[in-house]
């Protein structure tokens, strides 16, 4: 178990460089299982979830070597196995084994898939995609002697189900047509990796056409993490500082930037560096989390402490209706809120230090922002949950002037 101790308040200033995106890196790592060759991945973030994903693909025989900022993954000699439930239960992205294993080995056992438990996280659309391409379910295992190209129209946008549909279609015989898919930037990042591995994928605004082929090793430089960038920008505003975020994926973040502008932040962009600061008190803001290009659900917990420090706000989450458990934990920091269905009202509050347990990855990041803004010492237990998604978190915050430590206990 890890504990983060913060002595606040901090007025964070300086520059921070964004790491590779967790949610882009994970599908690419699992996609290497479908390729036969050596893939080269750059800017893979060194975070908990990525380490677990690499361990899972190693259990199939993938050889992973990291050197000079490049991770080489050799998938020429793989054999099917049942990966450790302990590992698959740690990360949500282990659901990508459905598409990857059916494509490579023709089988996959359904096991416990992990990740943040802020809502029920069904996989019905993942399974439907497998069945649509000819797989069959028998006693908790899915088999496909042959995957056959087919049409899939999702009833709702799902990142995970879209990833699995793509992973299945790239090796199915013939053409698949996918509609109703998620359009997050990490989906395009996965497509780019698969194209570099020889896949045939054509994507328009509302249709993907994929013809199955044998894939060789591919290449990717993982895109910048928009949730990490949004977290550091929020840290700057919550602490009254001024932070420059280098390699900020600002094209992907327009809905977030609109929210910062509505809050009253002064935003500046120069090349790939985005900076933000706030004079005076933040305005009341309303946020509705939607699939991309809407406001990202993963940033809604992060923005809650800003609302409390400012003039209040309201958050509606249309992606995960119950993603508000973290508000209970934020109440320990004095943040007052009221929940009604999938809408939370956050009241202007005086933030004070607290001892809390990180409720989940982004809820934990919201606790950290609150701790940095509060006057006095705060402690956040189960900090490894936050480190699942943020590379060099304490080092980056310390470089911005935070008094922060992490301890094993
Ligand atoms: C991904 O989860 C991300 N995780 C989540 O980020 C993120 O919150 C989410 O997408 C939405 O952007 C990873 O990329 C590893 P979904 P995923 O399938 O794929 C419903 C973080 O903090 N649904 O897009 O699991 C579901 O209930 C994490 O980094 C079905 O109904 O999310 C939800 O309402 C947390 N049936 C909606 O779709 C299904 O079969 C979107 O979920 C699948 C999903």
Tell me what pLDDT residue 199 has. Answer: 98
Nearest atom within ligand 1 for CA of residue 319: 34
What's the Cα-to-Cα distance from 250 to each of 170, 218, 292, 295, 373, rounded to whole Å? 30, 26, 13, 13, 25
Mutate to test the pocket of ligand 1, among 24, 92, 226 (most ligand atoms within 8 A of CB): 92
Mutate to test the pocket of ligand 1, among 49, 52, 319 (most ligand atoms within 8 A of CB): 319
The confidence band for 119, taking pLDDT boundaries of 50, 70 and 90, is: confident
User: Cβ < 6 Å from ligand 1: which residues?
Assistant: 22-23, 26, 92-93, 116, 121-126, 156, 158-161, 182, 297-298, 319-320, 361-362, 389
Give the number of other Cβ atoms within 10 Å of residue 204's Cβ.
Answer: 7
Question: To 5 degrees, how large is the angle CA 48–CA 50–CA 51?
Answer: 65
pLDDT at position 54 is: 98
Q: Model confidence over 274-325: pLDDT tens digits?
A: 999 998 899 999 999 999 999 999 999 999 999 999 999 999 999 999 999 9
pLDDT at 285: 98
Q: Judge whether residue 111 has pLDDT over 80.
A: no
C-alpha of residue 123 to centroid of ligand 1, in Å: 10
Q: What is the pLDDT of residues 81-109, one digit of tens each?
A: 988 899 999 999 999 999 999 999 999 98
H helix intervals, 68-216 = 85-88, 97-105, 124-132, 159-169, 185-196
- Tell me the pLDDT tens digit for each residue of 278-289: 988 999 999 999
User: Whose CA is closest to atom 6 on ligand 1?
Assistant: 298
Residue 225 in contact with residue 21, Cβ under 8 Å?
A: yes
Task: Take atom 18 of ligand 1 and give the residue whose Cα is closest.
Answer: 158
Residue 393 host element (H or E): helix 393-399
Alpha carbon of 23 to ligand 1 centroid (Å): 10
Q: Which of 160, 223, 292, 301 to mutate to test the pocket of ligand 1 (most atoms within 8 A of CB)?
A: 160
pLDDT above 80 (res 8): yes
The pLDDT of residue 120: 80
Average pLDDT of 230-256? 94
Q: What is the pLDDT of residues 340-393, one digit of tens each?
A: 999 999 999 999 999 999 999 999 999 999 999 999 999 999 999 999 999 999
Choose the residue to mutate in 48, 159, 295, 366 for probing ligand 1, maximizing ligand atoms within 8 Å of C-beta.
159
User: Tell me, what's the pLDDT at 362?
Assistant: 98
Task: Give pLDDT, residue 61.
Answer: 98
Ligand 1 centre and the CA of 6: distance in Å?
31
Q: Residue holding tokens 């509705």?
A: 288
Q: How confident is the model at residue 207 (pLDDT cuts 50, 70, 90)?
A: very high
Q: Which of 183, 269, 285, 283 is nearest to 233 (CA)?
A: 269
pLDDT for 83: 86
Quote the radius of gyration of the chain (alpha carbons, Å).
21
Pick the residue with more confidence: 11 or 76?
76
Q: Say how many Å lie between the first and final Cα of the chain, rounded.
A: 6
* pLDDT of 112: 74
> What pLDDT shows up at residue 110?
75
Distance CA 348, CA 10 (A): 20
Just list the catalytic residues. 116
Give the up-direction half-sphere exposure of residue 116: CA atoms within 13 A in the CB hemisphere.
Answer: 26
Specify which residues 333 forms β-bridges with.
none
Mean of pLDDT over the chain? 96
Can you name the residues that pair with 274 across neighbouring β-strands? Answer: 245, 269
- Ligand 1, atom nearest to 184 Cα: 12
Going by alpha carbons, the residue nearest to atom 26 of ligand 1 is 121
Residue 370 has a pLDDT of: 98
pLDDT band, residue 117 (cuts 50/70/90): confident
Strand partners, 357: 381
Cα distance between residue 133 and residue 146, in whole Å: 9
- At 24 the three-state DSSP class reads helix
Four-CA torsion 287, 288, 293, 296, nearest 10 degrees:
80
pLDDT band at 185, cuts 50/70/90? very high
Q: Which atom of ligand 1 is nearest to the CA of 159?
A: 24
Ligand 1 centroid distance, CA of 348 (Å): 30
Name the residue with the closest Cα to ligand 1, atom 19: 160
Instruction: Locate the ligand 1 atom nearest the alpha carbon of residue 120 and give its number.
Output: 27
Q: Are 407 and 11 in contact (CB under 8 A)?
A: no
Q: Please give the pLDDT value at position 102.
A: 97
Q: What is the model's pLDDT at position 1?
A: 92
The atom of ligand 1 lying closest to the CA of 186 is: 14
Residue nearest to atom 17 of ligand 1 (CA): 160
- pLDDT tens digit sequence for 34-50: 999 999 999 999 999 99
Q: Comparing 46-50, 111-115, 166-170, 175-179, which segment has the lowest mean pLDDT? A: 111-115
d(CA 11, CA 13): 6
Task: Ligand 1, residue 127: give the atom nearest the CA.
Answer: 40
Instruction: Encode pLDDT of 155-165 as tens digits.
Output: 999 999 999 99
**DSSP H stretches of helix in 351-391:** 361-373, 384-387
State the pLDDT confidence band at 193, using cuts at 50, 70 and 90: very high
pLDDT of residue 109: 87
Query: What percentage of the chain reaches a pLDDT higher than 90?
Result: 91
The size of the chain, in residues, is 409
- Which SS3 state, helix, strand or coil, does residue 40 take? strand
Is 0.85 surpassed by the pTM of this model? yes
């Amino acid at each position: 178990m890890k504990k983060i101790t913060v002595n606040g308040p901090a007025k964070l200033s300086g520059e921070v460089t964004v790491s590779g995106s967790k949610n882009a890196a994970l599908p690419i790592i699992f996609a290497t299982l479908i390729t036969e060759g050596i893939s080269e991945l750059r800017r893979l973030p060194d975070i908990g979830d990525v380490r677990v994903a690499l361990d899972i693909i190693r259990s199939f025989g993938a050889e992973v070597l990291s050197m000079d900022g490049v991770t080489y993954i050799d998938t020429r000699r793989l054999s099917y196995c049942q990966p450790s439930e302990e590992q698959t239960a740690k990360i949500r992205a282990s659901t990508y084994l459905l598409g990857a294993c059916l494509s490579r080995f023709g089988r996959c056992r359904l096991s416990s898939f992990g990740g943040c438990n802020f809502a029920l996280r069904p996989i019905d659309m993942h399974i439907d995609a497998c069945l649509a391409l000819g797989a069959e379910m028998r006693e908790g295992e899915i088999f496909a002697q042959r995957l056959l190209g087919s049409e899939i129209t999702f009833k709702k946008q799902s990142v995970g189900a879209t990833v699995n549909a793509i992973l299945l279609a790239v090796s199915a015989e013939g053409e698949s047509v996918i509609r109703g898919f998620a359009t997050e930037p990490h989906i395009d990042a996965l497509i780019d990796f698969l194209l570099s591995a020889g896949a045939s994928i054509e994507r328009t605004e509302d249709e993907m056409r994929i013809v199955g082929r044998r894939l060789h090793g591919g290449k990717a430089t993982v895109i910048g993490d928009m949730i990490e960038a949004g977290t550091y920008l929020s840290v700057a505003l919550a602490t009254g500082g001024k932070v420059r975020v280098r390699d900020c994926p600002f094209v992907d973040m327009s809905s977030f930037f609109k929210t910062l502008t509505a809050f009253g932040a002064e935003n500046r962009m120069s090349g790939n560096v985005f900076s933000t600061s706030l004079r005076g008190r933040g305005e009341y803001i309303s946020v509705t989390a939607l699939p991309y290009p809407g406001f990202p659900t993963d940033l809604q917990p992060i923005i809650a402490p800003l609302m409390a420090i400012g003039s209040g706000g309201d958050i509606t989450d249309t992606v995960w209706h119950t993603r508000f458990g973290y508000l209970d934990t934020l109440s320990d920091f004095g943040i007052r809120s009221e929940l009604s269905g999938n809408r939370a009202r956050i009241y202007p509050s005086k933030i004070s230090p607290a001892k809390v347990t990180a409720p989940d990855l982004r809820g934990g990041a919201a606790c950290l922002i609150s701790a940095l803004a509060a006057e006095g010492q705060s402690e956040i237990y189960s900090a490894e949950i936050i480190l699942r998604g943020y590379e060099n978190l304490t080092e980056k915050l310390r470089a911005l002037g935070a008094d922060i430590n992490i301890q094993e206990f």
